Amino acid sequence: MNDVQHNDALAFSARVLGALFYFAPDSALAEPLVAAFHNGEWATQWPYPVEDADMLSAGFAAASDESLPQAWQRLFIGPSALPSPPWGSVWLDRENVLFGDSTLALRQWMRDNQIAFDVQQNEPEDHFGTLLMLAAWLVENDRQPACDQLLAWHLLPWAPRFIAEFIAKADHPFFTALGRLTQQTLGHWQSHLLIPVADKKLYR
């Protein structure tokens, strides 16, 4: 895979995965993606090699007593404690809090790179889905060095732990399969990075 192919693959996979982790599955932005994973279309379109693709396809299509919107609510919104919180500072801050020092460092990096974060509510910038979609935007706007920094400094130091916990505790076949696909995809991204992933202590 040459650089152009890798950039296209990263942008596509980051945008798809980011939307599925960030938006409700019955929302206008996520619903078509959910349908593509349910009916198996994803398997021929995914830009990276996938291990156990048949098993993942079965997971995406499997029925569950819990609806997909209910599972998404449980995993990402609450009201109960989230099994695997999707914000970086929960994993990187000693007190496991939102808006921790790692969030402030990300915010400063975004300012230094003239990246605006526009949301309707007071939301941390380090949501896993948001960072994936930001990575896609950077690649699509020919800002590959900034994307590499985002991945190496602000996402990959904590994302593997988050995803491992997410897979272990998702308790829904669709989201378990999504976690496994994401785990493999992050590995492909990291193998193409030109800078080392920062070594940061995790507190969860």
Report DSSP state, residue 152. Answer: I
Structural domain includes residue 23: yes
If you average pLDDT over residues 98-106, what whole number do you get?
93
Range of the domain at 17: 1-192
Tell me what pLDDT residue 4 has.
Answer: 82
Structural domain includes residue 136: yes
**CATH at residue 27:** 1.10.3480.10
Tell me what pLDDT residue 122 has.
Answer: 77
Tell me what pLDDT residue 3 has.
Answer: 77
Structural domain includes residue 182: yes
- Joined together, the tokens standing for residue 105 give 């460092």
Structural domain includes residue 71: yes
Would the pLDDT of 98 be above 70?
Answer: yes
Would the pLDDT of 85 be above 70?
Answer: yes
From 158, 141, 162, 153, select the one nearest 193 (Cα to Cα). Answer: 153
> For residue 193, with 0-12 CB atoms within 10 Å meaning exposed, 13-18 middle and 19 or more buried, which class applies?
middle
Structural domain includes residue 146: yes
Mean pLDDT of the chain: 94
Lowest mean per-residue pLDDT among 11-20, 116-125, 159-168, 183-192: 116-125
pLDDT in tens, 139-198: 999 999 999 999 999 999 999 999 999 999 999 999 999 999 999 999 999 999 989 999
Residue 127, φ and ψ in degrees, nearest 5:
-65, 135
In this prediction, residue 13 has a pLDDT band, given cuts at 50, 70 and 90, of very high
Considering its fold, how many domains does the chain have in total? 1
Would the pLDDT of 20 be above 70?
Answer: yes
Tell me what pLDDT residue 1 has.
Answer: 74
Tell me what pLDDT residue 167 has.
Answer: 98
Structural domain includes residue 199: no
Tell me what pLDDT residue 120 has.
Answer: 60
Structural domain includes residue 137: yes
Written as one string, the DSSP assignment of 76-99 is HT-SSPPSS--BHHHHHSTT--TT
Would the pLDDT of 119 be above 70?
Answer: no
Structural domain includes residue 96: yes
